[in-house]
Amino acid sequence: MSPKAPKLAAKTPKSKASSEYTAKQITVLEGLEPVRKRPGMYIGNTAETGLHHLVWEVVDNAIDEAMSGYCNLINVILTSDGMISVEDNGRGIPVEIHPQTKVSAVETVLTKLHAGGKFGEGGYKVSGGLHGVGVSVVNALSEYMRAEVKRDGKLWVQEYKRGKPQAKVKAIKPVRGTGTTIIFKPDPQIFTTLEFKLKNILDHLRQQAYLTKAVKIEIADDRDKKNKTLYTFYFEGGIASYVRYLNHAKEPKHDTIFYVNKEIEGTIIEIALQYVDEFNETTITFANNIHTTEGGMHLAGFKTALTRTLNNYARNKNYLKEKEENLTGDDTLEGLTAIVSVKLKDPQFEGQTKSKLGNAEVKSMVDNVMNEFFGIYLEEHPRDAEAIMGKCLLAAKARLAAKTARDTILRKGALEGLTLPGKLSDCSSRDAQISELYIVEGDSAGGSAKQGRNREFQAILPLRGKILNVERTRIDKILANNELKSLIIALGTNIGEQFNIADLRYHKVIIMTDADVDGAHIRTLLLTFFFRHFPELITKGHIFIAKPPLYRLAKGKEIRYAYADEEKEKIITELTKIKEKPEKVKKPEVTEVVEVEGEETEIVSKGGQKIVIQRYKGLGEMNPDQLWQTTMDPATRVMKKVNILDAAKADEVFDILMGNEVENRKKFIEIRAKSVKNLDI
């Protein structure tokens, strides 16, 4: 059952260290029983996200070995029988009897929650993983698991089924070197999908390779025997290489990427940054290789030091005159691409998902390192420093111009009593938690939506035509645009420095556009607007996309709606389900086009039964009742919640699709053209 793994380096980077990692370092906190009952508590869900989380947990153990300096090669194999193998050349999980559990330390690690080298003293200096539950959860949620450990000159093996060991750990043959291989097959009784997405795995492991300098990660996809693929990630430059990768489609303002790696009191601080010719900031933070999406103390320390260091340099070099005000944080962040990675002994994460780092001492550490070494960088690279200062000073001038424009607009709004836009048909409820704002394309659709909605909690804001592309537009121009200004006032949160999510008037903001090319373009423009200027609305789950049907199918009094061509064909088959014997039903399917109430409508005859099919070209073609039933009724509607799984990738895609570089956009479209379905030309 074990896939054949390639040979790994026999000698680990710190071969003598294995004697320091024994069963004494494995601390047991609790049993494994709750995992199969409530898997969502441990891996998020039992769909695609949770399935891939199993891989991250096993890989995290190998990364922990690498971060501690004991591993330099990790190999991941996807096999044709639905299994995944993760092998490392670290120290190998201890195999001797654990003093507390009275079974092998391998079995303890794989069958007990919160058992591992990251608890207690002497195991790991720094580590990641999901609160240390890691590989035991993977075992509990796997139909089959096999652990292979190279240690003490032998290959030790143990197999499990749904978390239960099938035999004791035993040595099967002599081997050279050390390391651990975990092979597992997710349990179909637990997961709704068992298909691993290669792209998801590659994206995650590429990021881990950037964050763990000089560690090679190999991924082999052996699922298709005729087209086996092998990918290798190895980045000697670490996060400096990551910054270069993030900026590969952008125009850098300076050549030399700033990079520092410094250890203070056992905490490793690594920072890399480069400015580009953009308005938007991309700062990604990590703690022990875990992506802290909400930032935390390391981010706060970085931003404080960045602004202070640039202001000090600007004063010393006379970029800022005596009477001129300092650069603000926003001035120094415009066009910045930065990675801030910290590795520490006892990380304190806020929230179950580890999205924010709470260690207060890290703030001052990052602040000190950034202040000292970025200051040295500016002095030693005067040409790069000049380009950075030019970028920041230009941002400051634009900010002052935008402030003047914004103050003018808001002052005017204050004189008008900050009235809501006239085109907004507001709801009667003032409870933001139940209130919904539909952003609708065009007056025609807006009219149907206004008549079909539930006035108590649904508000309608129609937009005329395509809104401004905000990808490379400053805030003063955004506020001067009537359509966007109406939307900002309707949301109630204000924008930029004055943004306050607590003032959001609707907890569901729903983009409702036609299912055609123009509708998709308007939807993309709106998503760009929210992503660049209201990202918190996305991360907090307030932005949705309505999914109106493409077809209305009627057979007598029975009416069904289809949202895709495949669904239409399925409904036709269901509606024409014949009870007579098949040999009696051999009438060919006949399609005719007629006019019903002034609109082109298809009539499909199948097996002597007629189905009337109406193709909706736009929301405005639906009468209010149809729009309510299909797209606005909370009991029956279909909506997509907008989220950001990968902020860096999202930033890159928006930059390509909505930026000025035509060649990058052309290449993006050419690569994906063949995979487009239902293209409306």
Catalytic residues: 441, 514, 516, 518
Query: Do residues 135 and 141 make contact, with C-beta atoms less than 8 angstroms apart?
Result: no
Q: Give 635's contacts (C-beta < 8 A, 6+ positions apart).
A: none
| Nearest alpha carbon to residue 61 among 106, 5, 14, 4 | 106
| Nearest alpha carbon to residue 50 among 61, 60, 41 | 41
Pairing label, strands 336-343, 282-287: parallel
Structure letter (DSSP) for residue 631? I
**CB under 8 Å, gap of 24 or more: what pairs does 166-170 form?**
168/103, 168/104, 168/107, 169/95, 169/104, 169/106, 169/107
Query: Do residues 25 and 116 make contact, with C-beta atoms less than 8 angstroms apart?
Result: no
Q: Give 403's contacts (C-beta < 8 A, 6+ positions apart).
A: none
Structure letter (DSSP) for residue 37? H
Return the C-alpha torsion angle 88, 93, 95, 100, nearest 10: -170
Decide: residue 542, CB within 10 A, 0-12 exposed, 13-18 middle, 19+ buried.
buried
Distances (CA, A) of 293 to 67, 205, 282, 425, 653: 21, 17, 12, 36, 18
Query: Do residues 344 and 363 make contact, with C-beta atoms less than 8 angstroms apart?
Result: no
The string of DSSP codes covering 203-226 is: HHHHHHHHHSTT-EEEEEE-SSTT
- d(CA 513, CA 523) in angstroms, rounded, equals 7
DSSP H helical ranges for 69-216: 105-111, 134-140, 198-211
Q: Give 504's contacts (C-beta < 8 A, 6+ positions apart).
A: 432, 491, 492, 493, 537, 542
β-bridge partners, 390: none
Neighbours of 2 (CB within 10 A): 13
- d(CA 409, CA 420) in angstroms, rounded, equals 14
SS3 482: helix
